[in-house]
Amino acid sequence: MMNRIWLTLIMFSFLAGPVFADEIPKDRLDRFAAQVIDQGGRAIGYPANQDTGLKEFYQWYLGSGLYGVVMNNAGNPRKQSSYVMQTHQFENEVIDFFAPLYGFDPQDTWGIVTFSGTDGNNHGIYFGVKYLLAKTKMRPVIYVSADAHYSIKKLADLQNLEMKLVPTDRLGRMIIPEFEKALDPRKPALVVVAMGTTFKGAIDDQAAIDAVIKKINPPAVYRHLDAALFGGYLPFSVHKDIVNRKQVRFDSIAVSGHKFFGLDEPMGIFITTREVLNNQNPFNVAYLNDAVPTITCSRSALGALKFWWKVKKTGRAGYERQAAEILARTGYLKAALDKIGYPAWMNQYSNTVFFKRPGHGIMEKWGLAPEEDARLGGKLAHCIILQHATKKTIDLFIADLKSDMTRK
């Protein structure tokens, strides 16, 4: 009798729908969406390109029916996998598009689409550690500037590495004599080069770093470029050689996809050489038909597909135009701040302008990021100019800033 009762209840639950499910509050979601979209046009304080341009992708995605299945880019995208629910072919084309731009030989390249710039940095540090261990049987010391992205500090702690933070100058650049004092000649060196620091947009001097390395001569060296933001636009600009490994030495690079490239969620790319790949732990996985060198096992197949769509739709010429435009508008912002006598600074090659922190209302309205540096007068804020920050946007921001100045 009890079995029949339970069977009846189960059948009723299937017919009536989920017993505990709440109705989706669409009005609440609509209000949230409207608020975020409104703020997006003024979001100039953080490095996210709000001009995503993915409407056509999602129209295709819904029309294709692909939303009804699960995909996973687990495994090595360069090897044939027995798992067919993946987008490795598109992921490889993304890497093949970018690798030559950073000076990698197409025959000596390996890379993946990552979950974020931090995921790329995690791979760069992990691959660097394994590479240096294979070469020297010693764990390296990691060197990074004090102004570099906080992910490096966190990842060094995660991977249990000895880390030396190198002091920076007032513009956020690594102080080379301090790097020389810190560099240990007895241990391999894993040097993380900042290609656009988080707040001030500073670039470490790679030639000077190399000169110190040559002078101190540690047992082995691995150079990883944290190029989360600047690595997006620099290869499409007149300054492209500073991220070209045929011109400057580095072993791997991490770049974000949700910054300059305008993807609508965190993702990025990590690229290195076959030699580095071949000095990793194999971790062969039979059911994936190969060694799996990635830290992350399951990886987003949809992210790789969206990145491929953006690359195909924009192309090299499109990115070159966008890079020129954002650098020109960054100069326009700096000149406008100078014109009204507002204390402001910017680094060479940068799309970031940092300045004396305005009032709370300006900070909130324009989504500005705060920082402090006594060498520059104390409280600071910055603007990061990406594709959605037009000249009109900058003019409106300057007008608000002028009004804020008169109230003080």
Residue 141 contacts residue 163 (beta carbons within 8 Å): yes
Model pTM score:
0.92
* Range in 20-34, 39-53, 370-384 with the lowest mean pLDDT: 20-34
Question: Please, which pLDDT band fits residue 156 given cuts at 50, 70 and 90?
Answer: very high
283 versus 303: the higher-pLDDT residue is 303
Over residues 316-342, mean pLDDT: 98
The string of pLDDT tens digits covering residues 77-108 is: 998 888 899 999 999 999 999 999 999 999 99
Residue 213 to residue 209: CA distance in whole angstroms: 6
Tokens matching residue 278: 């071949």
Question: Please, which pLDDT band fits residue 3 given cuts at 50, 70 and 90?
Answer: low
Phi, psi angle pair for 373, to nearest 5°: -155, 110
Residue 46 to residue 367: CA distance in whole angstroms: 7
The CATH number of 67-313 is 3.40.640.10
For the CA atoms of 376, 176, 117, 188, the dihedral, rounded to the nearest 10 degrees, stands at -150
Residue 273 contacts residue 110 (beta carbons within 8 Å): yes
Over residues 230-237, mean pLDDT: 98
Average predicted confidence (pLDDT) for the chain: 93
Burial 206-229 (b: 16+ CB within 10 A, else e): bebbbebbeebebbbbbbbbbbbb
pLDDT of residue 19 exceeding 90: no
Return the domain boundaries, the chain.
67-313, 322-407
Please give, one letter per residue, the 3-state secondary structure of the chain.
Answer: CHHHHHHHHHHHHHHHCCCCCCCCCHHHHHHHHHHHHHHHCCCCCCCCCCCCCCHHHHHHHHHHCHHHCCCCCCCCCCCCCCCCCCCHHHHHHHHHHHHHHHCCCHHHEEEEEECCHHHHHHHHHHHHHHHHHHHHCCCCEEEEECCCCHHHHHHHHHCCCEEEEECECCCCCECHHHHHHHCCCCCCEEEEEEECCCCCCCECCHHHHHHHHHHHCCCCEEEEEECCCHHHHHHHCCCHHHHCCCCCCCCEEEEECCCCCCCCCCCEEEEEEHHHHCCCCCCEEHHHCEECCCCCCCCCHHHHHHHHHHHHHHHHHHHHHHHHHHHHHHHHHHHHHHHCCCCEECCCCCCEEEEECCCHHHHHHCCCEEEEEHHHCEEEEEEECCCCCCHHHHHHHHHHHHHHHHHC
The string of pLDDT tens digits covering residues 107-141 is: 999 999 999 999 999 999 999 999 999 999 999 99
Residue 351 to residue 222: CA distance in whole angstroms: 28
322-407: CATH topology is: Aspartate Aminotransferase, domain 1 (3.90.1150)
Domain 67-313 and domain 322-407 have a common topology:
no
257 versus 289: the higher-pLDDT residue is 257
Structure confidence at residue 379 (pLDDT):
97
